[in-house]
Structure 1
């Protein structure tokens, strides 16, 4: 190291220390952990100075993560409003229909009986960082460096990079869940995105992107840090299937008193009904492609199967009662699948395998919990989050802008999908994903080219893309949408983070109390070519690197499908979605009316509660598509979101490498 570089690194270290000190002074905890929890946090902090959590033995690493999560709850949950008055109160927002004491309201109201608007449709996104460090950007900050240039240099796919530990079901699943959780309200005003100097292949003189619409100013702090509203409910309530309003839900149900969702049965398969333009009638139908067609149909079928089971067991139930219970069961089942199946697939690390199972079952495990019930009434570590009692940890529940940011996972989508027969394994056709989007998503399934079992088998054996630098789908970088827009979603992703005040990469990590790279080489784990390209693009200032670009460029923990930077937000918010919800965690302990809305047979029915506890993704697929059972049996003991065993014909296919450009 030269004396100049040593001096520069010394200055960087001093500046970084000052930034961290300034931020620490402004991070005020909203709740205090118990003495035992504070001891655990401190002990693991000391240990992690020598050994990072992911290098510890599995069970110790899992406990390390549990205490890290407590610290994140302490310092990284902030309301999107200046006052909790915005969350409503029972006087101004009375629960007039007692049906919703024990059932979900489609717009998300009344999950909390004390703050009835919390998490409902139209409420603001919260923050994982204090609002004063997530303010509205200046024009210079918004456009520097040029977001389209960043998309071209660091997002554009050159050669498809597969994620070989996952299958395409994992890619479709996360978008399916995201559509349940969040969707920003869009403004009628547009950004006129400047194109990079030196020319650009963009087919138009400029790129127009709709702005995010800010909420009305309720407090002076909203001027510097605008709040943005969620068009979806923030709860794990299946709004992508059921809709985010009671009116929408009613329109999706059958006219019979059977509690079911409407499906079109063609005699060959059941499909989601369509509007006059060919768009699916379901709770959330934007950003539609064949992966959404498959999973929305699957869980609409699952809802109806639950209805049949409830009707058989409880013949006196009304249609509304059947629907309410079936929705509770279906939503909880999706939450369970995401927690104990999808997450351990994309974060395939021993500590996560243990930790995510413990999120649901506790460290006592599934068998003992099913046999004896909760061993501990309140401890989520001992007996899991479901039934432990809802808790907001000092900040009203919402999903956060930073949570939205770390779930930008478009890289999972390939440009083409090779489809195979579920019965013979023979290659049928390789189809560009672009031709299976929006109103065309179901065409391969409706034209007898593919069956649903063919599609699911093909998704089971195909790889998604890796979440890394330069692996963004080509068609998404020039996406033509039904509303007449043409957009580069890579540019959109960069612009959205800047527009909404998401801190850039180094600040993001600093605010999570993580180490911060002082050089581009350190950021990229020694990849000098990428480091030099980042240095040039960001004018030599590592503090300017966008959060998404930095998290794609950093080395990943072995087994991880995305960065540790994103993971820190994930472990906080993944458990919060469960812990804040009275229909999963149960009412706060000591709350009145604990007999309703809890994690028990009284709320879910005996049949429904057993359904949630006993079923998983393998059961759902096999129930509705029996042709898949043989494939699923071959993979018993293996995660269903990991690559399935290929049939011999599929293995022999060499025409085009699966998911490679055609």
Structure 2
């Protein structure tokens, strides 16, 4: 029965793709928005948005976002019932009317479980186009073969740098995705927001999916050294509707909100264990060898205690530490301003401000760095400040009460566009950016004029080893040295042939050994993410008719892709195709992936009560609101590591390569990823 339903869904998708796939909108744009959509469709038939003048291109992007909201927001559930109601999930503690709940509940008071821990991922495409694959679809072409041919980084000199970014930008996006999503895996049963009967059902039947690991077939002559390559299945949610059989839903074990859950945890019980036991609402930090409370707490095995500690390496150590310090600085500010407050009151406001600050930094600093296009510089600033700009908004407040275009999304009013908020499977897919990680990191001493100290393979900074660099016995680096080093090292480019080799032979704490290139392809297929051409078709993008058109005229790559995919361009995986297409000027990743980004980047802000809704001094306090509005990543770094201020003062964007100190310019290591001047 399952196979029949899957085949029927797959055949329907194939028929639709041959008939120029039609998707009905989930909400209706206004008359003027529809006029703009039709006008720019005509314009883009002649000139793509990224070749228009910057301001006009930004307007074009705003119109594209409206169209994407209409056609590319779809719920992971067949009804809104799992989102809860005011009567089924009343706010029993009035604290959460003005504060975030670690479980993610009560962000929406109308749909209390929306976006909370344990809710399903949504989709950017209708579920009939995202069916569970058949065995043939899952393994064709062989994902390990594709990883070997299109992802493997050459051993000697194979690193392809992204020269407009620094390594801090790579660490930042992993830091953020750890806040947003984590799929439930076999043996992982978070029960937040669900009835006990559903949990029992999941434990006993798994929608017919066997609990056995994927035994990934290895192509002939493969050199995989571990005999077999096994991978746990993503665990489907319980069957709540017949549509879940052909197109299963998958649950997010993190909250979907921009709520700092990577630091604070996605459950209140976890959050409470991370708070220091004193009345000021601070996060627990332990002292370094000089006595400064700066290190994240560890368990008896040396593993970090934080909200989300998977995939841990020195980059996560640095950013988690930085924003734990920022939280504690906020607590000090609030204690001084409001001496009569309880620890909970201080903690809640500090978390609220810290989360909003991270959302702002991502919107107006990280994104313009990785998408360094004139239209994006305007559009991302407008997402936060509106077209009236930062200076006028700070001086006069919101010029328009409700227009996100004029005065930005924060404070413009919450809108779900007819679909309950969630992050989507396709959003997860386009954030597969393992290529950003280099093989080695060159470290430099700020107090020594930028002199080279050591070059460390990234795989020696994983898990419990992430702290060793900061101990006298392990290198004696300071966090100042580490941030400076990340500021002048390049990350990898998001393209073919650039996965770090240690991630293609990665031992994980659950006992598995993985090739992450293979895993990335397999996970997309397993979860029903459409292949590249259908992905573009469903976004109303033109679909390449040949491999050479896909690669922008790169004949050698086109031939390799054609050979690997047996000449069938419809089989090309979304990830491989996105890595193969030519990029718009200034872009760090593909336009195909960017279309999902246009939609979801603003949705995370627009759906959030604490950003689009209660964006005011009453919620944040006068002091907290000013902190968010007047603070950027430079300020955060300089506040906690003031030795960086002289370097940062000369850098326009913290996520672009920093100016180097004199001694750093002299370094010419064989394996360095440092920019050459």
1:350 matched residue in structure 2: 374
2:635 matched residue in structure 1: 619
Give distance in 1, aligned partners of 2:489 and 2:224: 31
**CA drift at 1:482:** 2.2
One of 602, 616, 619 as aligned partner of 2:618: 602
Matched-pair contact (CA < 8 Å) for 1:345–1:639: yes
Matched-pair contact (CA < 8 Å) for 2:371–2:586: yes
2:451 matched residue in structure 1: 426
1:289 matched residue in structure 2: 313
Deviates more, 1:391-400 or 1:181-190: 181-190
1:445 matched residue in structure 2: 470
2:665 matched residue in structure 1: 651
2:540 matched residue in structure 1: 513
Alignment of 1:101-120 (within 5 A): 101-120=97-116
Q: Does 1:122 align with 2:138?
A: no
Count of aligned positions: 632
Q: Does 1:276 align with 2:305?
A: no
SS in 2 for 1:427: strand
Matched-pair contact (CA < 8 Å) for 1:192–1:206: no
Give distance in 1, aligned partners of 2:215 and 2:555: 30
**CA drift at 1:135:** 0.6
Per-residue displacement from partner, 1:149-180 (whole Å, max 9, x unpaired)? Answer: 01000011120000000000000000000000
Give distance in 2, aligned partners of 1:65 and 1:20: 25
Q: Does 1:259 align with 2:275?
A: no
Matched-pair contact (CA < 8 Å) for 1:387–1:585: yes
Per-residue displacement from partner, 1:616-659 (whole Å, max 9, x unpaired)? Answer: 00000000001111111122xx1110000011211111122423
**CA drift at 1:195:** 3.3
Alignment of 1:578-593 (within 5 A): 578-586=605-613
Matched-pair contact (CA < 8 Å) for 1:168–1:459: yes
The structure-2 alpha-carbon separation of the partners of 1:398 and 1:152, relative to structure 1 and needing over 3 Å to count, comes to same
Matched-pair contact (CA < 8 Å) for 1:438–1:482: no
1:591 matched residue in structure 2: none
Give distance in 2, aligned partners of 1:84 and 1:518: 39
Per-residue displacement from partner, 1:252-289 (whole Å, max 9, x unpaired)? Answer: 00111101000001253510000111111100000000
1:86 matched residue in structure 2: 82
SS in 1 for 2:213: strand
The structure-2 alpha-carbon separation of the partners of 1:192 and 1:31, relative to structure 1 and needing over 3 Å to count, comes to closer
Deviates more, 1:365-374 or 1:478-487: 478-487
Q: Does 1:328 align with 2:342?
A: no
**CA drift at 1:518:** 0.6
1:7 matched residue in structure 2: none
Give distance in 2, aligned partners of 1:181 and 1:22: 35
SS in 2 for 1:429: strand
Give distance in 2, aligned partners of 1:538 and 1:125: 29
Give distance in 2, aligned partners of 1:464 and 1:220: 45
Q: Does 1:162 align with 2:161?
A: yes
One of 214, 218, 221 as aligned partner of 1:192: 214
**CA drift at 1:204:** 2.0
Matched-pair contact (CA < 8 Å) for 2:487–2:655: yes
Deviates more, 1:482-491 or 1:568-577: 482-491
2:648 matched residue in structure 1: 632
**CA drift at 1:198:** 2.0
Per-residue displacement from partner, 1:535-589 (whole Å, max 9, x unpaired)? Answer: 0111110000000000000001110000000000001000000000000000xxx
Deviates more, 1:444-453 or 1:65-74: 444-453
**CA drift at 1:191:** 3.3
Runs of 4+ in 1 over 4 A off after TM superposition: 16-21
Q: Does 1:236 align with 2:252?
A: no
Give distance in 2, aligned partners of 1:192 and 1:356: 41
Give distance in 1, aligned partners of 2:516 and 2:259: 27
1:595 matched residue in structure 2: none
RMSD, matched Cα: 1.4
Matched-pair contact (CA < 8 Å) for 1:190–1:209: no
Q: TM-score, normalising length from structure 2?
A: 0.92
Per-residue displacement from partner, 1:57-116 (whole Å, max 9, x unpaired)? Answer: 100000000000000000000000000111110111111000000000000000000000
One of 568, 571, 592 as aligned partner of 1:541: 568
SS in 1 for 2:111: coil
One of 506, 530, 534 as aligned partner of 2:557: 530
Give distance in 1, aligned partners of 2:92 and 2:478: 46
2:200 matched residue in structure 1: none
**CA drift at 1:331:** 0.1
SS in 2 for 1:49: helix
**CA drift at 1:193:** 3.2
**CA drift at 1:467:** 0.0
1:575 matched residue in structure 2: 602
**CA drift at 1:17:** 12
Q: Which runs of 5+ in 2 are unaligned?
A: 1-12, 188-210
Give distance in 1, aligned partners of 2:68 and 2:110: 25
One of 411, 414, 439 as aligned partner of 2:435: 411
Give distance in 1, aligned partners of 2:403 and 2:17: 33
Matched-pair contact (CA < 8 Å) for 2:298–2:305: yes
Give distance in 2, aligned partners of 1:528 and 1:234: 41
Deviates more, 1:268-277 or 1:388-397: 268-277
Give distance in 2, aligned partners of 1:96 and 1:658: 56
The structure-2 alpha-carbon separation of the partners of 1:476 and 1:17, relative to structure 1 and needing over 3 Å to count, comes to closer
Alignment of 1:195-234 (within 5 A): 195-234=217-256
SS in 2 for 1:420: strand
Give distance in 2, aligned partners of 1:658 and 1:633: 25
One of 55, 58, 67 as aligned partner of 1:59: 55
One of 518, 533, 548 as aligned partner of 1:491: 518
Q: Which runs of 5+ in 1 are unaligned?
A: 1-15, 587-597
Matched-pair contact (CA < 8 Å) for 1:425–1:647: yes
Q: Does 1:174 align with 2:170?
A: no
**CA drift at 1:190:** 4.0
Deviates more, 1:453-462 or 1:481-490: 481-490
Give distance in 2, aligned partners of 1:263 and 1:437: 20
Matched-pair contact (CA < 8 Å) for 1:190–1:208: no
